[in-house]
């Protein structure tokens, strides 16, 4: 157990999270479909859709955590990878509409028909096949991240410079996708989807299934991240985060390590986007908005970066807060949200998870000091503490 | 320890999930009829949509003063979709399935409407959409109380062509679907009227474009070719203020190159000194300056409701006024708020509009409206210089676009179709070609 | 055609001012008929009739009509000029120009005008003013004639040119005459001379006229027209380039203003201040409030309200900045990325606060008259507000340089940001320096808001629209260097404006962003990188 830090990868809290996710993947559909609406155990379809959306956000936050929390790359453009994955899925869903569009054109999506497009642009080819779309969901964000990272990390662009050019990247994509001439539906984006793999998207069973898939994919993402960060590569990532120059002087190639993390993270974000689109029913350029990418950073920070649990909790908690506030206090919710961010930064600098760990460790330390006897498993507790404190040290680009 | 901790985290997880579910507001109480208001109160669209939320609250309050509806009080449920398009869908779903609203009044941008459409279809509820839009759509659950392109753009162009003798046209718009479609329609229309393609200049700018120097100069140069030139502007929201400021400063007067706008109303003008803009035009179905009893009363109620004499009224507010009254009348006619019954009952319902006539809900779920052309005055109001002799029926499928000219919508039984093709006699668009 | 008919009517009057008057119906009678008009074409006929009298006395009536100040008193159908607005209005007799009566606004009905009428009135008035006293009016008259060239007016213009003493006005009249000559049936040599004159003036608006000549004529005339067109085109190309540079400088100055406060809070202090845009917004709203207050309490100073707004905006935004620094940021030094989170929260709160106080819609901030309108240099149009903003942004820049490099306060700021502990040991009160530096950055953002309120929206979204561009400018220029910010702003502005005519506004912006990304690869620390050990993290 004491090696659970970086050795085993899956410590018990992660196992707990996995258990919650897998049981949710089974229980939520059952409670939604099999339990009658009158029962107090029934979960309404509305809540299923909402929870599914949160899980996609959680996966997105986790992907950001991989590069930010573990590798020290603050990406302010992760929304771009998410949106690209979403667009790839959206294009598949558009092609599935077929003749059921309002104009009944068998090949062209509606927006192309009324803008007088005569044929399908080449980059839409192949998206009628699910396998191709699924491939593109991973390939497009992955390739973009690879190309971007290859340029940026080799030129040793770091710190705020990197953050700002990732922001420039997502902003440029935002403007590009806004253009109707691009053939992605302009501001309206892609919408009015009918079915996926032959299942109607409006059917409660499809929704429940999408939820389960999201939960399972998140579980897989958690496993991948946990294994990755506890592997040798993960240690190198942390080394790069904490002292890039030193790592380089020790003979490693930080740019390759960063590039690897960045690409994996982008693929993960792309998958999250692809799962998100069929559940919310629309993908449009506003997903590229720099503000959205900043929000992802905030979820991660609120949950606690450099932990696996943190981003998941942060994404779910902040978005649930947003859903709830926008209905309960529609005029004032921005105060609540803004206040939350300020409070978390000032009072919980390590995020929810980090603070919780620190509090527990302090309590345990007090208790063991008081009793003067050792606890059942002190190494774990101390290990956890050490990890969270270390992780919260921000690499400082000195001015 | 291991197991205990795992159990604890499981319990924690369960607490979080159940907390989330419990925190959702409870189901509707039975003694009121709930009406959903789905307008952005924050984010970029709050600038336009907040007023519409206020007007809905006012209309509901007025209706309650008259004794409510079907003997029950109306209750507004306001949510904030925060100018975030996927959030519109989520909030629509919340309004319908959690709050159990009888109808929803909301949306401004096309993309927000597109985002919520599947939700209204799936949950079979009603949406009243109050903003002028690009057309090319008719959905069973949606009622379009704003103008279709033929109720705004085409009469405006006719006016400029006939009354001002315009021969050269700049179609300037923000790059999104409403200007793109409107300009496509206008281009086809102008060319059908014998305007040469080189006498039409089309220009698109991004949302919130703030530096208009180059484009205004281009317009000026385009207009110096010796033919009377006009600008047809579908520039959206925020970008208008810097656009008009630049026009004024570069000295483009309405007498030389008039600008007719489809997205600039009283509310937008409130942010500009209109002194240098006198004479530029806008086409709407309502202006605050309309002289009618209904309008005077509406403005008075509005000022009393907001407690602010300087709050202006505008066209989308009138659309909500019409839409809300139509819904009330249809519910009374049907005797229930059941969506299917209301959808059947509302077609043919006529209610007074604010310009002194009556508007009727047509079978294509669009309404009849007069079209007014107004010139900007130095007090920020419009003076009506022209109006259509009668009411214009909203045309959802434009006659000037090749792919939609054969389509019609009619939601009455037995046709019940939003894209009926009169050429093939089948429902479902153009069909396979 | 309308105009040509008008000319025929007016020509004798122009030549013999003040002679052929009073033969038609007396003015009062025509004016009285405004009471009965129902349609615009009736008003149009009356305006023509008034113009045809050639009486300078119609001038006030027509001007009032064009401005929408001509009213009918409902009780007796009498016509009055009613300047101003309000509940009780002064009535002025249209003929004598004396105050006749007072009436409430509900007792009056406005004589309606539209664009067509305003245009007609302008043309009618200009024909009455070719011999006017004011040079401006004569110039306007000449320009109107140039815009509607008509051979019938050559004689009138000749007479006017003869009498003209102002060289600028004379040139305009000659231009109008040349345009008329080209269309006339005068001998070819005259026409060629006229074409050469037009060509040498290099005005875009004669291009279409010359193109018609080129298409319809042959021989020397056609050649002369073609030469003139080529000449104008080449002149215009140079002016267009100059115009683009100016647009770029002007856009650059806006970017500089938006970014320069950030260059302090972000560049010098290392705080990723996402609330920077909201400081700009606070400045703009301060301008709005000041303008309202000046309007209410000291209307005479209306023109100078911006001068009051500047220090106030600096103080208000600066005070908010100090409050943010003391309340939040000072706990976060050394954790720059967390300042991003907290200041993002601050920006949400400020936006919503402004939305609740001032409402969600745009607020009107007027331009003072010295910032309105434009002037021309050759074929280039320069608007006054842009010119002032360029000057203002440079002024702010120089001021900041001075503060940083020439004052003890600036010295302390630099000391603290470079080596906090050392500065502290030297007796500098670092917490205060931090607070004031942040306050300075915010205050500068505030005065940027005053300037930006003159070109753009004043709405709760104002800040959001500048924040990304500001970060790009600071990073492109090099964090921590004011000169970098200056050069970054202007090069981005000019690049944008040169790309816009070719690629369009959207694509141009995308290209600029991609260029920034590529540029950072080449110079990972921006245009002006700080040198020394501190750079390597």
Asked if the C-beta of A347 comes within 8 angstroms of chain C's C-beta atoms, the answer is no
pLDDT for res C2: 52
Neighbours of C513 (CB within 10 A): 24
Could you tell me the CA-to-CA distances from C370 to B61, C305, C317, C366, C387 in Å, in that order? 48, 12, 26, 11, 11
Give rounded-to-5 percent helix, strand, coil for chain B: 40, 20, 40
Question: Do C438 and C412 belong together in one domain?
Answer: yes
Q: A147 vs chain B: nearest CA distance in angstroms?
A: 27
Q: What is the mean pLDDT of residues C95-112?
A: 81
Give A142-180 pLDDT, tens digit per residue.
999 999 999 999 988 888 889 889 999 999 999 999 888
Q: Do B85 and A189 touch (CB under 8 A)?
A: yes
Q: Do C504 and B209 touch (CB under 8 A)?
A: no
Chain C residues with CB under 8 Å of A298 CB are 341, 344
Q: Which residue of A has its CA nearest to C469?
A: A168
The domain ranges of chain A are 2-290
Q: A237 vs chain C: nearest CA distance in angstroms?
A: 16
Domain count, chain C: 3
C510 in any annotated domain = yes
What confidence tier does B40 reach under pLDDT thresholds 50, 70, 90? very high
What confidence tier does B30 reach under pLDDT thresholds 50, 70, 90? low
pLDDT for res A372: 54
Report the distance separating Cα B364 and Cα B382, nearest Å. 31
Give A217-226 pLDDT, tens digit per residue.
999 999 999 9
Could you tell me the CA-to-CA distances from C211 to C175, C204, C420, C430, C495 in Å, in that order? 17, 12, 71, 71, 33
Give B41-94 pLDDT, tens digit per residue.
988 888 889 999 999 999 999 999 999 999 999 999 999 999 899 999 999 999
pLDDT for res A350: 84
Give C333-353 pLDDT, tens digit per residue.
777 777 888 899 999 999 999
The domain ranges of chain B are 153-261
Q: Do B251 and C373 touch (CB under 8 A)?
A: yes
Asked if the C-beta of B248 comes within 8 angstroms of chain C's C-beta atoms, the answer is yes
Domain that holds residue C499: 240-531
Q: What is the mean pLDDT of residues A316-331?
A: 89
Question: Do C18 and C116 belong together in one domain?
Answer: yes
pLDDT for res C135: 78
Q: Which residue of B has its CA nearest to A326?
A: B80
Give A335-363 pLDDT, tens digit per residue.
988 998 898 888 888 888 888 888 888 99
Task: Answer whether residue A397 shows pLDDT above 50.
Answer: no
8 A C-beta contact, residue B34 and residue B28: yes
Chain C residues with CB under 8 Å of A297 CB are 340-341
Question: Do C35 and C88 belong together in one domain?
Answer: yes
What confidence tier does B15 reach under pLDDT thresholds 50, 70, 90? very low
Give B114-140 pLDDT, tens digit per residue.
999 999 999 999 999 999 998 888 999
Measure CB to CB from residue C383 to each of B42, B241, B249 and give the nearest one.
B249
pLDDT for res C21: 42
Chain B residues with CB under 8 Å of C376 CB are none
Q: Do A17 and B9 touch (CB under 8 A)?
A: yes
Give B209-232 pLDDT, tens digit per residue.
888 999 999 998 898 877 889 999
Instruction: State the complex-level ipTM.
Output: 0.85
Task: Answer whether residue C505 shows pLDDT above 80.
Answer: yes
Question: Do C471 and C357 belong together in one domain?
Answer: yes
Looking at chain B, the number of H-run helices and the number of E-run strands are: 12, 19
Q: Do C367 and B246 touch (CB under 8 A)?
A: no
Q: What is the mean pLDDT of residues C150-166?
A: 81
To the nearest 10°, the Cα dihedral for C471, C476, C477, C482? 10
Question: Do C271 and C372 belong together in one domain?
Answer: yes
Out of A97-106, A379-388, B335-344, least confident range: A379-388
Question: Do C196 and C273 belong together in one domain?
Answer: no
Q: Which residue of C has its CA nearest to B267?
A: C361
Report the distance separating Cα A363 and Cα A369, nearest Å. 10
pLDDT for res B303: 95
Q: Is C28 helix (H, G, I), strand (E, B) or coil?
A: helix
Nearest partner of B363 among B415, B285, B429, judged by Cα: B415
C274, C513, C531: best mutation site toward chain A, by most A Cβ within 10 Å? C513
C416, C505, C532, C537: best mutation site toward chain A, by most A Cβ within 10 Å? C537
Question: Considering chain C, what is the average pLDDT of its residues?
Answer: 84
What confidence tier does B324 reach under pLDDT thresholds 50, 70, 90? very high
Report the distance separating Cα C459 and Cα C466, nearest Å. 12
Q: Do C534 and A398 touch (CB under 8 A)?
A: yes
pLDDT for res A329: 87
Task: Answer whether residue C536 shows pLDDT above 60.
Answer: no
Out of C239-243, C418-422, C445-449, least confident range: C418-422
Q: What is the mean pLDDT of residues A227-254?
A: 91
Measure CB to CB from residue C204 to each of B46, B214, B224 and give the nearest one.
B224
Q: Is B201 helix (H, G, I), strand (E, B) or coil?
A: strand
pLDDT for res C37: 83
Q: C6 vs chain B: nearest CA distance in angstroms?
A: 18
Task: Answer whether residue B13 shows pLDDT above 60.
Answer: no
Question: Do C431 and C370 belong together in one domain?
Answer: yes
C277 in any annotated domain = yes
Go through C128-138 and write b for each residue having 16 or more CB atoms within 10 A of its CB, e for each that does not: bbbbbeeeebb
- Omega prior to B348 cis, within 30 of 0: no
Give B392-404 pLDDT, tens digit per residue.
999 999 888 888 8
CATH code of domain B153-261 = 3.40.50.2300
Task: Answer whether residue B352 shows pLDDT above 90.
Answer: yes
Q: What is the mean pLDDT of residues A236-242?
A: 92
Q: With a CB-CB cutoff of 8 Å, which residues 181-220 of chain B face chain C? A: 203-206, 208-211, 213-215, 217-218, 220
The helix (H) or strand (E) run that includes residue B205 is strand B200-205
The three state secondary structure string of B371-414 is CEEEEECCCCCEEEEEECCCCEECCCCCCCCCCCCCEEEECCCC
Report the distance separating Cα A385 and Cα A375, nearest Å. 15
Chain C residues with CB under 8 Å of A158 CB are 524, 537
Residues 6+ apart with CB under 8 A from A59: A214, A217, A218, A221, A268, A269, A271, A272, A275
Question: Considering chain A, what is the average pLDDT of its residues?
Answer: 86
The pair of structure tokens assigned to B274 is 């209109």
Report the distance separating Cα B272 and Cα B275, nearest Å. 9
Chain B: touching chains (3 or more CB pairs < 8 Å): A, C
Sort strands A282-283 and A190-191 into parallel, antiparallel or unpaired. antiparallel
Phi first, then psi: what are they for A195, rounded to 5°?
-150, 165
- Among C217, C252, C274, the domain boundary falls at C217
C224 in any annotated domain = no
Question: Do C386 and C452 belong together in one domain?
Answer: yes
């Amino acid at each position: 157990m004491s090696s659970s830090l970086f050795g085993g990868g899956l410590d018990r809290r992660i196992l707990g999270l996995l258990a919650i996710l897998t049981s949710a993947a089974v229980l939520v559909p059952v409670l939604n479909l099999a339990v009658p609406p009158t029962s107090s155990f029934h979960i309404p379809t509305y809540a299923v859709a909402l929870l599914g959306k949160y899980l996609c956000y959680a996966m997105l936050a986790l992907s950001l955590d991989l590069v930010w929390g573990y590798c020290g790359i603050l990406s302010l453009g992760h929304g771009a990878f998410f949106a690209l994955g979403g667009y790839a899925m959206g294009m598949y869903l558009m092609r599935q509409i077929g003749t059921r569009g309002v104009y009944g054109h068998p090949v062209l999506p509606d927006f192309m028909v009324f803008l007088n497009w005569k044929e399908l642009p080449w980059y839409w080819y192949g998206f009628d096949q699910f396998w191709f779309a699924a491939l593109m969901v991973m390939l497009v964000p992955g390739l973009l991240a690879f190309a971007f990272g290859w340029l940026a990390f080799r030129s040793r662009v770091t710190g705020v410079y990197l953050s700002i050019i990732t922001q420039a990247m997502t902003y440029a994509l935002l403007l590009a996708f806004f253009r109707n001439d691009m053939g992605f539906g302009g501001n309206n984006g892609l919408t009015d989807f009918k079915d996926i793999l032959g299942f109607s998207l409006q059917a409660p069973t499809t929704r429940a299934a999408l939820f389960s898939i999201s939960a399972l994919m998140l579980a897989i993402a958690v496993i991948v991240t946990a294994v990755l960060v506890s592997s040798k590569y993960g240690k190198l990532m942390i080394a790069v985060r904490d002292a890039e120059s030193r790592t380089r002087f020790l003979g490693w190639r930080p740019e390759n390590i960063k590039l690897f993390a960045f690409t994996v993270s982008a693929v993960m974000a792309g998958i999250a986007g692809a799962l998100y689109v069929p559940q919310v029913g629309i993908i449009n350029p506003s997903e590229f908005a720099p503000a959205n990418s900043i929000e992802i950073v905030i979820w991660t920070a609120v949950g606690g970066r450099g932990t696996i649990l943190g981003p998941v909790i942060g994404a779910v908690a902040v978005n649930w807060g947003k859903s709830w506030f926008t209905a309960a206090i529609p005029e004032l919710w921005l105060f609540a949200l803004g206040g939350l961010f300020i409070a978390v930064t000032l009072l919980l600098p390590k995020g929810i998870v980090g603070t919780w760990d620190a509090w527990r460790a302090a309590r345990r330390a007090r208790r063991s000091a008081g009793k003067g006897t050792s606890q059942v498993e002190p190494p774990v507790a101390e290990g956890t503490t050490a990890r969270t404190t270390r992780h919260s040290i921000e690499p400082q680009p000195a001015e | 320890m291991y197991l205990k901790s795992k159990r604890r985290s499981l319990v924690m997880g369960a607490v979080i999930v159940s907390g989330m579910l419990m925190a959702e507001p409870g189901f509707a109480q039975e003694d009121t009829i709930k009406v959903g208001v789905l307008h952005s109160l924050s984010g970029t669209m709050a600038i336009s949509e907040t007023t519409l939320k206020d007007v809905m609250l006012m209309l509901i309050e007025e209706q309650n003063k008259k004794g409510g509806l079907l003997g029950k009080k109306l209750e507004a449920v306001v949510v904030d979709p925060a100018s975030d398009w996927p959030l519109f869908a989520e909030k629509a779903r919340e309004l319908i399935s959690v709050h159990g609203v009888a109808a929803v009044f909301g949306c401004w941008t096309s993309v927000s409407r597109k985002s919520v459409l599947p939700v209204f279809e799936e949950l079979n509820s009603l949406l009243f959409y109050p903003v002028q839009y690009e057309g090319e759509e008719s959905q069973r659950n949606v009622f379009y109380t704003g103008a279709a392109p033929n109720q705004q753009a085409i009469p405006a162009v006719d006016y400029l062509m006939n009354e001002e003798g315009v021969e050269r046209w700049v179609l300037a718009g923000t790059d999104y679907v409403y200007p793109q479609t409107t300009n496509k329609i206008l281009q086809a229309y102008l060319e059908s009227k014998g305007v040469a393609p080189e006498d039409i200049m089309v220009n698109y700018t991004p949302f919130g474009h703030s530096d208009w120097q180059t484009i205004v100069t281009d317009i000026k140069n385009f207009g110096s070719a010796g033919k009377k030139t006009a600008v047809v502007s579908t520039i959206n929201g925020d970008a208008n203020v810097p656009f008009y400021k630049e026009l004024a400063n570069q000295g483009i007067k309405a007498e030389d190159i008039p600008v007719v706008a489809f997205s600039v109303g009283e509310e937008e003008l409130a942010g500009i000194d209109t002194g240098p803009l006198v004479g530029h035009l806008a086409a709407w179905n309502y202006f605050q300056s309309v002289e009618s009893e209904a309008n005077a009363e509406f403005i008075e109620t509005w000022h009393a409701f907001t407690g602010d004499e300087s709050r202006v009224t505008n066209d989308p507010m009138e659309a909500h006024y019409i839409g809300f009254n139509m819904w009330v009348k249809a519910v009374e006619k049907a005797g229930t708020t059941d969506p299917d019954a209301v959808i059947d009952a509302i077609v043919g319902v006529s209610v007074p509009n604010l310009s002194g006539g009556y508007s009727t809900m047509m079978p294509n779920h669009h309404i009849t409206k007069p079209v007014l052309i107004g010139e900007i005055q130095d007090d920020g109001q419009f003076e009506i210089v022209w109006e259509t002799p009668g009411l214009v029926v909203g045309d959802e499928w434009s006659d000037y676009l090749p792919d939609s000219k054969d389509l019609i919508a009619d939601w009455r039984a037995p046709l019940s179709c939003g894209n009926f093709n009169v050429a093939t006699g089948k429902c479902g668009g153009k069909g396979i070609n | 055609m309308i105009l040509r008919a008008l000319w025929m009517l007016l020509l004798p009057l122009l030549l013999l001012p003040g002679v052929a008057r009073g033969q038609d119906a007396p003015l009062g009678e025509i004016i009285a008929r405004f009471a009965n008009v129902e349609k615009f074409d009736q008003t149009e006929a009356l305006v023509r009739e008034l113009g045809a009298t050639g009486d300078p006395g119609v001038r006030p009536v027509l001007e009032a009509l064009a401005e929408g100040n001509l009213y009918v008193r409902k009780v007796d159908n009498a016509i009055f000029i009613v300047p101003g607005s309000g509940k009780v209005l002064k009535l002025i007799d249209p003929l004598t120009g004396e105050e006749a009566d007072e009436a409430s606004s509900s007792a009056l009905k406005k004589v309606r005008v539209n664009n067509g009428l305003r245009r007609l009135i302008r043309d009618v008035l200009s024909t009455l003013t070719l011999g006017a006293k004011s040079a401006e009016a004569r110039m306007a008259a000449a320009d109107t004639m140039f815009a509607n060239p008509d051979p019938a007016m050559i004689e009138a213009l000749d007479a006017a040119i003869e009498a003209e003493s102002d060289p600028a006005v004379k040139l305009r009249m000659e231009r109008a005459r040349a345009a008329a000559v080209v269309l006339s049936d005068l001998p070819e040599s005259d026409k060629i001379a006229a074409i050469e004159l037009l060509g040498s003036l290099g005005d875009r608006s004669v291009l279409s006229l010359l193109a018609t000549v080129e298409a319809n004529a042959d021989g020397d005339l056609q050649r002369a027209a073609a030469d003139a067109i080529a000449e104008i085109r080449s002149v215009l190309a140079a002016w267009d380039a100059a115009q683009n540079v100016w647009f770029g400088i002007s856009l650059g100055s806006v970017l500089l203003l938006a970014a320069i406060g950030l260059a302090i809070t972000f560049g010098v202090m290392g705080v990723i201040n996402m609330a920077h845009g909201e400081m700009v917004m606070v400045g703009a709203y301060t301008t709005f409030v000041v303008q309202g207050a000046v309007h209410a309490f000291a209307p005479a100073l209306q023109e100078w309200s911006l001068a009051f707004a500047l220090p106030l905006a600096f103080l208000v935004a600066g005070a908010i900045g100090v409050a943010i620094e003391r309340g939040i940021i000072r706990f976060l030094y050394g954790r720059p990325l967390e300042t991003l989170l907290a200041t993002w929260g601050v920006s949400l709160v400020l936006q919503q606060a402004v939305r609740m106080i001032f409402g969600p819609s745009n607020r009107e901030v007027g331009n003072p008259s010295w910032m309105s309108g434009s002037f021309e240099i050759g074929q280039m149009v320069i608007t006054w507000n842009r010119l002032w903003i360029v000057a203002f942004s440079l002024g702010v820049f120089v001021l900041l340089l001075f503060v940083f490099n020439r004052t003890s306060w600036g010295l302390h700021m630099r000391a603290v940001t470079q080596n906090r502990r050392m500065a502290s040991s030297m007796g500098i009160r670092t917490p205060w320096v931090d607070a004031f530096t942040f306050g300075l950055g915010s205050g500068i953002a505030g005065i940027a808001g005053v300037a930006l309120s003159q070109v753009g929206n004043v709405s709760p979204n104002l800040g959001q629209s500048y924040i990304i561009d500001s970060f790009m400018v600071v990073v492109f220029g090099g964090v921590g260097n004011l000169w970098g910010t200056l050069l970054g702003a202007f090069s981005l502005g000019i690049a944008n404006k040169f790309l816009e005519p070719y690629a369009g506004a959207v694509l141009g912006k995308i290209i600029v962003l991609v260029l920034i990304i590529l540029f950072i690869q080449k110079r990972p620390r921006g245009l002006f990188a700080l040198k020394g050990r501190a750079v390597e993290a």
